[in-house]
Amino acid sequence: MADDFEPEIIVFACHYCAYAAADLAGSMRLQYPSTIRMIKLPCTGKLEVIHLLRALEAGADGVYAAGCLEGECHYLKGNLWARKRVEHVKRLLPEVGLEPERVEMYNMSSAQGPEFARVATEFTERIKALGPNPLRRHGVSPHAAAREAARDVALPDEAPAGAAAPAPAAEAPAQAPTEKGPAA
Amino acid sequence: MITAERKPFDEILELVDGHNKILVAGCDTCVAICLTGGEKEAEILASELRMKAQADGREVEVEHTAAIRQCEWEYLDMIAAKVDEADVVLSMACGIGIQSMAEKFAPKLVVPAVNTNMLGMPQEHAVWLERCGACGECVIGETAGICPVVRCSKSLMNGPCGGSHDGKCEVTTPEKEDIDCAWHLIWERLKAQGREELMHKIRPPKDWSKSSSGGPRKMVKEEAKPV
Amino acid sequence: MTDDGYKAGSNLEKVLAAGKFAVTGECGPPKSADGSVIEKKAQMLKGYVDAVNITDNQTAVVRVSSMASGVQVQQNGVEAIMQMTCRDRNRLAMQADILGASVLGIKNVLCLTGDHMSFGNHPEAKGVHDLDAINLIKMYKDMRDEKKFQCGEEMPVAPALYIGCAENPFADPFEFRALRLQKKIAAGADFMQTQCIFNVPKFKEWMKEVRALGLHQEIKILAGITPLKGVGAAKYMKNFVPGIDVPQEIVDRMASVEKGPPAQAEGKKLAVEMIKELAEVEGVAGVHIMAVEWEEAVPEIVETAGLLPRPAVA
Ligand code: SF4
Ligand code: SF4
C-alpha cells in the first residue's frame, strides 16, 4: 500500500534558514520528494499549536517545522519556542488517535541545502511507513487549511528555485500567493 | 488571579459524550492569562475534538468562541447565539464563569473543560504559585505579608511545625518541587522588619466561619446598589 | 486540679513532680481490629515505663484510634499518654474526644499538629487543621482550668488532664525552636517530649537556649530516644524521615557491626549510652523511648540504663 501512497506533508519553514536552504537545494539540483508543501514563516517562533493541529485536522499526513540551528535564531529563541510547541502537539496527538510521529521539529542553516533535502526525504519515509492520516477527506486541502490557520503570520510564497515548490493551485484561494507581506 | 488547568482529554470526552453539536467556550480574562482557557486554547480543544470525532467516524460539529468575561452576564449576550445552537457548552472558564454560563443559559448543558485550582501569582512566565485561599479574614498583616492559610501545608496560625527543614516544608519530596516553609519565610521577613515579637504571640484559632466553612458567602455593597 | 494538688494526678505527673527521672515508651496501635496487639505491647512494657504514648494515626496511616488503644493499655496496667493530632479532627471532635477519654480514665494527652496526609496511606484525605498544636494545648488547658469549651461556654465537670506537647530541636529555623517551646508553655503545656535525638551536641545547644529562657523550670522535658535495629534503620532515618538529624558517626557505628543480633545489641548499647549522657544534661527530666515496632527492646534498655525499678509515687 505504501507504494502508491503519496503523502502530503506541510512544512513550516523559517525564511532565514530552511526556506533559503530549500532554494539552495533547488539550485544544487538535489533530489527530494515532491510531497512537501512549504509555508514560509518569518521565524518558527511564530508557529502556534493550532497551526499544526489545523494542518493535521485537514488531513495532512505529516507536518514539520524547520527552523534555524539552535543558538542561531534571528530572533534568539524562536526556534526553541517552536520545538516546545511541536512537543506539546506530540503529547496531544495520541489523545485524538494520531501518531505523535506525524509532527516534528528540525533545525538547519540557510547553507544546508543537502540537509534540507535529507530531512524532506527522511520525514517522507517516516510518514510513508505510518500510512495516510485517517482524517484525510476528499476535497479538503491540508495546505490550504494550514495556510489559512497561519494567515496572520505566514509570508507569501515564492517558489524556491527549481524544486518541489507549491504544486498547482488546485485548491482554496488562501493558497494563492499575495503580493503583500504578512498581515502584521 | 484565578488559575485553572485543562482537564484530561478523556474526561472531557466523557462529559460531552453523546452530543453532536459542541461549543467550546473560552474566557479571555484569568484563564486566558494563565494559558488554559482563552480563545487560543478553546480553538485548540475544538480542533482536537473534531479530530477525535473524525478518527472515531462520528459526525460531530465543534465550534469555538470566547467571552471577554464568562463570569459576568453582560458579556454573555455576545456569545448567546452560538450557545443557542449547541447541544452542549464545554466551558474553559474558571468555576465561576462556568456556573455563570450554566445559570444564564439554563437549562442548557454547560460542562467544565478545566479544573479551577487556585488564586495564584505568576512567579515567572508559565509558572503560578498559590497565594490566597479567600479565607474571609486576612491575617497577613501579622505574618509579614505571607499567607499561612494556603502557603503553610497545615494552615498553622502558630508555625512552623517540627517538619520545617532548611526553609522547606515537610511536604516537599524529591519528586515534588521544593515547597518553601511559609513559617520560615514569615520568621525571616518579620526579623527583617524588626517585628519578630509577632512570632512570640499566640495567634488564636482562626474564625473559619468567615471562610467557605461558614456556608456560601455573599457580599453586598449597599452604598453601590442601584436605586 | 485534683484534691492533692495535681493537675490530673496521673502516674507520669506524680513521677515528674516528685523529681524522679521519668521513662515513657511508645506503642503504635495496629492497622486492623486485632485487639491482641496492643495487649501484648502493654504487657511487654509493664513495669518498665511510667506511661506509654499511644500514637494517633501515626505518619497519617490509619490505625486503631489512640483513645481505644489508650484505654486498652490502661486495662493492662500501663498508663496511657493519648496522642491527639490536629490533622484529623476539628475543634468539636478534639473536645468531644478528650471528654470521652477522660471519662474512660485517660489522664495524659500529647497535643500534636500531626504529620501531613501526604506521608500516609490516604494522601487524598482532606487535612482538617482547624487548630494548630498550640491552640489545641490552649483549648485543653482552658477546659481543665477554666472549665470552658473553646467557644467560651462552661461545663460542670472539667477533664483532669496532664497536657503534653512535642518539639523538634532539630527543625528549622533553629533559633526559633526554643521560642516555640516557650509559646507552648504559655499555651499551657505541662510536659514535653522531643523528637528522637541522635545528634546529642545539637540537642545540648538547644537545651542551652531553653535554659537561658528558664523554660526547663516551667515544663518537664523528656528527651526522645530511638534504639536503632541496624544500619538500615539509621540510614532510613537520616535520609527519609523529615526533621530527624542522624550524624554520620552513628550510621558508621551501626555499619561497623554485623547485621542481625550483633547490630541489635549495638543499637541497644548506643541507646543506653545516649540515655546516660542525656540524663546528665541540666533540665532533662526524663526520657521518651520510641522503639518503633521494637517494643521488646525497651525492658533491656531501661534495665541496663539503671532506671529500674520504676518509682511508685503515692
Ligand atoms: S489570610 Fe486569608 S485572605 Fe489573607 S491571603 Fe491568606 S487566605 Fe487570603
Ligand atoms: S513545614 Fe512549614 S509550611 Fe510545612 S506544614 Fe510545617 S509550618 Fe507549615
C136-169 pLDDT, tens digit per residue, is 999 999 999 999 999 999 999 999 999 999 999 9
Is residue B227 very low, low, confident or very high in pLDDT (cuts 50, 70, 90)?
Answer: confident
**Grid cell at residue B49:** 475534538
Number of independent structural domains in chain B: 2
| pLDDT at A170 exceeding the cut of 50 | no
Identify which of C103, C42, C97, C45 has the alpha carbon closest to the alpha carbon of residue C67.
C97
Is B215 a domain residue?
Answer: no
**C-alpha–C-alpha distance, residues A52 and A146, integer Å:** 7
Q: What is the pLDDT of residue C239?
A: 87
Q: B69 with B147, same domain?
A: no
pLDDT of res. A1:
47
Q: Which residues have C-beta atoms less than 6 Å from ligand 2?
A: B 152-154, 156, 159-161, 163-164, 169-171, 181-183
CA A69 to chain centre: 16
A183 vs C7 pLDDT, higher one: C7
Give A63's contacts in chain B (Cβ within 8 Å). Answer: none
Share of chain A residues as helix, strand and coil, in percent rounded to the nearest 5: 40, 15, 45
pTM assigned to the model: 0.87
Domain assignment present for residue B219? The answer is no
Residue A68 lies in a domain: yes
Which run of H or of E encompasses B73? helix B73-76
Residues B78, B137 share a domain: no
B48 contact residues in A (CB cutoff 8 A): 53, 92, 95-96
For residue C109, what pLDDT band results from cuts at 50, 70 and 90?
A: very high
Question: What's the domain range around B149?
Answer: 133-205
What the block records as the C-alpha cell of C206 is 538547644
B161 vs C: CB within 8 A:
yes
Which of the 8 DSSP states describes residue B180? B
Residue B225 lies inside a defined structural domain of this protein? no
How far does residue C163's CA lie from ligand 2's centre (Å)?
Answer: 23
**Can you tell me the mean pLDDT for A42-48?**
96
**Chain C CB within 8 Å of residue B211 CB:** no
CB contact under 8 A, B47 and A53: yes
> Who among A48, A49, A57 is closest to B50 (CB)?
A57
Query: Is residue A145 in some structural domain?
Result: yes
Of the candidates A151, A170, A119, the one whose C-alpha atom is nearest the C-alpha of residue A9 is A119
Contact B218, B212 (CB under 8 A): no
Extents of the domains making up chain C: 11-304
Find the mean pLDDT for residues A140-156.
Answer: 93
Distances (CA, A) of B28 to A46, A153, C312: 21, 21, 74
Domain of residue A93: give its range.
9-149
Question: Are both B82 and B144 inside the same structural domain?
Answer: no
Chain CA centroid to CA C43, Å: 19
Note the pLDDT tens digit of each residue in B97-129: 999 999 999 999 999 999 999 999 999 999 999
Residues 6 or more apart whose Cβ sits within 8 Å of residue B124: none
User: Residue holding cell 550483633?
Assistant: C262
CATH code of C11-304, in short, is: 3.20.20.220
User: What does the pLDDT read at residue C78?
Assistant: 98
Helix intervals (H) in chain C: 11-17, 36-45, 66-75, 91-103, 133-146, 174-187, 200-212, 231-240, 248-255, 261-279, 298-304
Cα separation, C13 vs B2, whole angstroms: 52
Which chains contact A through at least 3 pairs of Cβ atoms less than 8 Å apart?
A: B
Spatial separation of the C-alpha atoms in residues C171 and C242, rounded to whole Å:
9
Candidates B154, B156, B208, partner chain C, best to mutate (most C CBs within 10 A): B154
Q: Flag whether pLDDT at A181 surpasses 50.
A: no
Contacts of B204 in chain C (CB under 8 A): 135
Do the domain assignments include residue B58? Answer: yes
Nearest to A102 by CA among A34, A58, A52: A52
pLDDT at A161 over 80: no
Are B67 and B97 members of one domain? yes
Q: Cα torsion for B53, B54, B60, B64, to the nearest 10°?
A: 80
**Is 50 exceeded by the pLDDT of residue A37?**
yes
3-state secondary structure A22-76: HHHHHHCCCCCCCCEEEEEECCHHHCCHHHHHHHHHCCCCEEEEEECCCCCECCE
- Per-residue pLDDT at B29 exceeds 80: yes
Whether residue B41 lies inside any domain: the answer is yes
Q: Please tell me the distance between residue B30's alpha carbon and the centre of ligand 1 in angstroms.
A: 19
Q: Tens digit of pLDDT for each residue in C292-310?
A: 889 999 999 999 999 999 9
Whether the per-residue pLDDT at A168 is higher than 50: the answer is no
Q: Nearest-CA neighbor of C164 among C191, C144, C137, C142?
A: C191
Hey, how many other C-beta atoms are within 10 angstroms of the C-beta on C210? 27
Average pLDDT over residues C171-200: 96
* pLDDT interval class at B182 (50, 70, 90): very high
Q: What is the ipTM of this complex?
A: 0.90
Assess whether pLDDT exceeds 80 at residue B197: yes
Q: Confirm or reject contact between C93 and chain B (CB < 8 A).
A: no
CB contact under 8 A, B163 and C243: yes
Contacts of B19 (CB under 8 A, 6+ apart): B60, B87, B88, B109
3-state secondary structure (DSSP) of residue B78: helix
pLDDT in tens, C189-216: 999 999 999 999 999 999 999 999 999 9
Nearest to A95 among B48, B54, B56 (CB): B48
Nearest chain B residue to A133 by CA distance is B55
* Residue B150 in contact with ligand 1 by CB distance below 6 A: yes
Q: Per-residue pLDDT tens for C36-90?
A: 999 999 999 999 999 999 999 999 999 999 999 999 999 999 999 999 999 999 9
Within-domain flag for A143? yes
Q: Is the predicted pLDDT of residue A3 greater than 70, yes or no? A: no
Beta strand B109-112 with B88-91 is parallel
- Give tens-digit pLDDT for A67-125: 999 999 999 999 999 999 999 999 999 999 999 999 999 999 999 999 999 999 999 99
Q: A109 or B178: whose pLDDT is higher?
A: A109
Last residue of a domain, one of B118, B142, B175: B118
Element spanning B199, H or E = helix B197-200
Q: Does A167 touch chain B (CB under 8 A)?
A: no
- B148 and B53 in a common domain: no
CATH no. for residue A139?
Answer: 3.40.50
Any domain includes B32: yes
B154 and B102 in a single domain? The answer is: no
C177: left (phi over 0), alpha (psi -120 to 50) or beta: alpha
Ligand 1 centroid to residue B133 C-alpha, Å: 6
pLDDT category, A159, cuts 50, 70, 90? low
Whose CA is closest to B101, among B146, B58, B126, B66? Answer: B66
The pLDDT confidence band at residue A158, using thresholds 50, 70 and 90, is low
Instruction: Verify that B93 and B152 share a domain, yes or no.
Output: no
Mean per-residue pLDDT, A145-152: 94
Q: To the nearest whole number, what is the mean pLDDT of chain C?
A: 96
For residue B114, list its beta bridge partners: B6
What residue type is assigned to position B204 of the chain? P
Q: What percent of chain C has pLDDT over 90?
A: 95
Q: How many CB atoms lie within 10 A of CB C226?
A: 25
* A104 touching chain B per CB within 8 A: no
